[in-house]
Structure 1
């Protein structure tokens, strides 16, 4: 059996489901293929171990799709403050007292109600599935994977594992870092594996829901606190949080093997003193960290978005926000192509999408790499340099806040000073 659509989206994670919703709302007939349904939301369940810091820009995009109200109907935790500081101990630390090198961003100073929301990935995905299901032009196909992808001058054909064929003018690969679509299209990648891994831990702690998320930078990697929702009447006075511990793979393997009581003691000892008193560990998981970038964002009638096109160091939680920016840009380009009466796979339009998104994604990759290399060492001159940099950020609130407004998606335009800096950085175009 063959079904015809304008667009086939492979992958119904957060970015794929957002794309399907936006394209359906724009009048395109869309098929979405994914191997599984998103998990149903259970308000009594422990939080998903996978969470994201959704920026104000992502909130604006999701609100436009109609998904934001669905997210709020489930659960999301706004944060008003973000703090970063250097935890490295060095003989040079007396030259720059820690308080002077601790930088805090406050939504009030940025003219915003909040800097963003911490949201479980399953909540965001479920909300976007709900909006996609409500679109009459969107067909959701779950429980299947693609077994082949063929292209001609007229169309692309996706073959499912049950033998069904889906034809379309364009296929969008939103199926993650190990993208089958990217492989079928013959698009290569550049990949750099970091020495660190990241361990994520879901915990309950004693106290009210915090309004701040923070990262303390250690030579072995940052340790971060992301606030979640109240633990409810079953655990009075307690709240949920997600902790992230970056470290060497062998160190994290040892930590993962500990029983909860031992791991809790390790966390309370190794994390900054501002970490609230932990009462329970619910789940833990670790994963490798890599920077990966597709050599091209499209080939023929295939185009990539989100993690299929790029993955970055999750240091500042910008991965899904970049994916949503891809989705919004691609939707806009495809609407323009249709308005012009052009083929959706016309190189002119897909080039426009790539030329818009590749530099922005490269800039974020490079920024995360600079942070990674700057903070992941104990070399005294570098230690002094980074502390002086944090001190300068603290002392120059106007410049600091301009950068923060861009990073949080409050402002859509990169500040002029950052444009000048990134334009002069060697190697940017090779990422």
Structure 2
């Protein structure tokens, strides 16, 4: 039975980032043995040319996330053509005239963030972890695990029938985390009664380095610039199940017309559309982030509405803090799976995650409300907020992680 200090279940964005943070930088401990456990093969780099060749899942990476990925050496792996910086954000209310515009120039920063396809970010992280001699890639799923033994090791049985043991088992295996469920970590969750439709589209007019979002009563619709082509956008269309079913049943021409209309033609006609994917939206938060020898991070610990693009950024914050606390604890002679280490991680991350989740829930409910008085107050509030530059600066700095 092979022994590891850390075994990370899930080799996606957060799992790869945790591994990379543990082996990179001045505070890393090269003697630690790490396993990345995932049955899926890694992604290959791609330079798409057609709308159907782009990854339908993209992330709006904040300045804080960019700095973290740069420290890991992953950001430098991304070609400039695939990390699309956006310098402005325009948000407006479909049920009135209220709107807010954010500009990088007002903050004296080069960009508000970067839109990057998830497979590109994942590939960049893979390049970092592949160079580490003390990381083993284990192509398997976790079938079961037990409580820590007398030596503090968690015995893990894999789908291949093989076994390993680890001082800390990390669940970075997504929203439906098997690690979380098998460890007995409970969650608070509820269904948003929304589905998100994602696709890549080409627009008649330039997206112009701007992230666009229209708040409809049925849910927000976002157009996000991707790659170096100014007429390409990744859409995230959140809506109620009935409308989602109707949209998914349309042929491409009908969908393009519906999308153009729903976006009020702000970017002209939608001229091309890729295949579409959809997924249900559900808020979920683990009541605890750890049990004996087991910890969860990223979507395994929390999921939120994508209306502000904060989900993956929260996951990267988890990865950064968990790695910091593991390295801090091990340097003081503690086991990486000790309560002292995992308790510090939970204290540092739980409050921030809860605050962000509460803010996203408040925004969703505010823009879903259709009472005339609330609409009036909402639109007037947006107009006042748009004129209050110091307040806008503070909010954007918080969103960028630069607080």
- Same fold per superposition (TM over 0.5): yes
Q: Which residue of 1 aligns with 2:74?
A: 67
Q: Which residue of 1 aligns with 2:132?
A: 135
In 2, Cα distance between the equivalents of 1:239 and 1:157?
Answer: 52
In 1, Cα distance between the equivalents of 2:129 and 2:272?
Answer: 36
* Aligned-residue offset at 1:272: 2.6
Q: Which residue of 2 aligns with 1:247?
A: 239
* Native 8 Å contact 2:14 2:297 kept in 1: yes
* Aligned-residue offset at 1:273: 2.8
SS where residue 5 of structure 1 aligns? strand
Q: Which residue of 1 aligns with 2:177?
A: 179
* Native 8 Å contact 1:41 1:74 kept in 2: no
For residues 362-381 of structure 1, give each alpha carbon's deviation from its aligned partner in whole angstroms, at most 9, with x where no partner exists: 00110000001000121112
* Native 8 Å contact 2:81 2:227 kept in 1: no
Change in Cα spacing, 1:73 to 1:394, as seen in structure 2 (3 Å) is closer
* Native 8 Å contact 1:173 1:304 kept in 2: yes
In 2, Cα distance between the equivalents of 1:138 and 1:74?
Answer: 30
1:278 to 270, 285, 289: 270
1:401 to 384, 393, 396: 393
Q: Does 1:81 pair with 2:98?
A: no
* Native 8 Å contact 1:187 1:299 kept in 2: yes
* Aligned-residue offset at 1:114: 0.3
* Native 8 Å contact 2:22 2:323 kept in 1: yes
Q: Which residue of 1 aligns with 2:46?
A: 42
User: Number of residue pairs matched?
Assistant: 393
* Native 8 Å contact 1:84 1:103 kept in 2: yes
* Aligned-residue offset at 1:168: 1.2
In 2, Cα distance between the equivalents of 1:39 and 1:208?
Answer: 30
1:212 to 210, 213, 229: 210
* Aligned-residue offset at 1:282: 1.1
Q: Which runs of 5+ in 1 are unaligned?
A: 90-97, 232-237, 414-431
In 2, Cα distance between the equivalents of 1:320 and 1:340?
Answer: 31
Q: Does 1:328 pair with 2:320?
A: yes
Q: Which residue of 2 aligns with 1:150?
A: 146
* Aligned-residue offset at 1:210: 2.3
1:105 to 102, 107, 114: 102
* Native 8 Å contact 1:214 1:225 kept in 2: yes
Q: Does 1:345 pair with 2:344?
A: no
Q: Does 1:259 pair with 2:258?
A: no
* Aligned-residue offset at 1:73: 5.8
* Native 8 Å contact 1:194 1:289 kept in 2: yes
For residues 268-288 of structure 1, give each alpha carbon's deviation from its aligned partner in whole angstroms, at most 9, with x where no partner exists: 112133124322111211111
Q: Which runs of 5+ in 2 are unaligned?
A: none
1:30 to 28, 31, 34: 34
* Aligned-residue offset at 1:74: 6.5
* Aligned-residue offset at 1:319: 0.4
Q: Which residue of 1 aligns with 2:295?
A: 303
In 1, Cα distance between the equivalents of 2:302 and 2:372?
Answer: 33
Q: Which residue of 2 aligns with 1:19?
A: 18
TM-score by length of 2: 0.94
* Native 8 Å contact 1:54 1:321 kept in 2: yes
* Native 8 Å contact 1:229 1:239 kept in 2: no
For residues 180-208 of structure 1, give each alpha carbon's deviation from its aligned partner in whole angstroms, at most 9, with x where no partner exists: 11112111111110122211121122355
SS where residue 359 of structure 1 aligns? helix
For residues 234-254 of structure 1, give each alpha carbon's deviation from its aligned partner in whole angstroms, at most 9, with x where no partner exists: xxxx73211122211111111
In 1, Cα distance between the equivalents of 2:144 and 2:127?
Answer: 28
Q: Which residue of 1 aligns with 2:222?
A: 224
* Aligned-residue offset at 1:30: 0.8
In 2, Cα distance between the equivalents of 1:263 and 1:273?
Answer: 14
In 1, Cα distance between the equivalents of 2:153 and 2:192?
Answer: 39
